[in-house]
Amino acid sequence: MIPTTAAPRQSPAPTVTEPPAVVFVVDDDNSVREALAPLVRSAGWRVETFGSAQEFLRRAKVNAPTCLVLDVELPDLNGLDLQRHLTEDRSMPIIFITGHGDIPMTVQAMKAGAVEFLTKPFRGDVLLDAIRAALARSQQVRDEQADVQRLAERYESLTNREREVMGLVVSGLLNKQVGGQLGTSEPTVKGHRGQVMRKMKADSLAELVRMAAKLKLPVAENR
């Protein structure tokens, strides 16, 4: 029997999925690392463990939501120093764990952006709750960074004149005023403004202003 040939079906659009979250554990106590690794995996997250800050810093970069479970007392670079080293990486929140915590140390860590400061011994569910909150923050930061990257790519597509018009428009000038500053006609400004709105995919002036703020564009000076 010869099977009939079915009509070709249209393939569904590919689904963009976020890579699995990764939890980094940095503690010089091997028994702590061995205890925390299976706990983290039991919640469905990947885990990578390190015995020192320097070992952690040599790791390969990952493109995924991440957080760092970090011991304060380490043999080389201590936890607070490592936190300062990572201060620009907002996409990797830190959870401190320590057996010798004190109030000044806790305040310092939290002011620098730590999600939680846990004193050993702590319950596993408390740590998992902290990790969950940290990974949610990491995902939020990644989403914000991706949004800014998309806006930056759109901004790069503007011509120099369109960027000038955008800067003046978001500063609050009317088309006629923009034309006066640039030495061009109002209809010409309207044309550039329409191109800016189209290329930036902005539905309103208010949205364009928000985009400029996200891109941290300098505010045009009204002459």
- Of 94, 127, 146, the one marking the end of a domain is 146
Specify which of 8-17, 48-57, 95-104, 105-114 reaches the highest per-range mean pLDDT: 48-57
- Of 125, 146, 167, the one marking the end of a domain is 146
Tens-place pLDDT, residues 126-136: 999 999 999 99
pLDDT of residue 222: 58
pLDDT of residue 195: 97
Please check whether residues 206 and 132 belong to one and the same domain.
no
> Does the residue 16 lie in any domain?
no
> Does the residue 7 lie in any domain?
no
Percent residues over pLDDT 90 in the chain: 67
Please check whether residues 134 and 194 belong to one and the same domain.
no
Please check whether residues 167 and 132 belong to one and the same domain.
no
**What value does the mean pLDDT take over residues 196-216?**
96
Measured CA angle at 205 (ends 203, 208), to 5 deg: 80
Least confident of 31-35, 44-48, 183-187, 219-223: 219-223
The residue with greater pLDDT, 122 or 12, is: 122
The whole domain housing 201 covers 157-214
Locus of tokens 């990578």 = 48
Q: Tell me, rounded to whole angstroms, the distance of Cα 81 from its chain centroid.
A: 22
Please check whether residues 32 and 138 belong to one and the same domain.
yes
Distance CA 191, CA 84 (A): 48
pTM of the model: 0.77
Split into its structural domains, the chain has a count of 2
Q: What are phi and psi of 18, to 5 degrees?
A: -75, 135
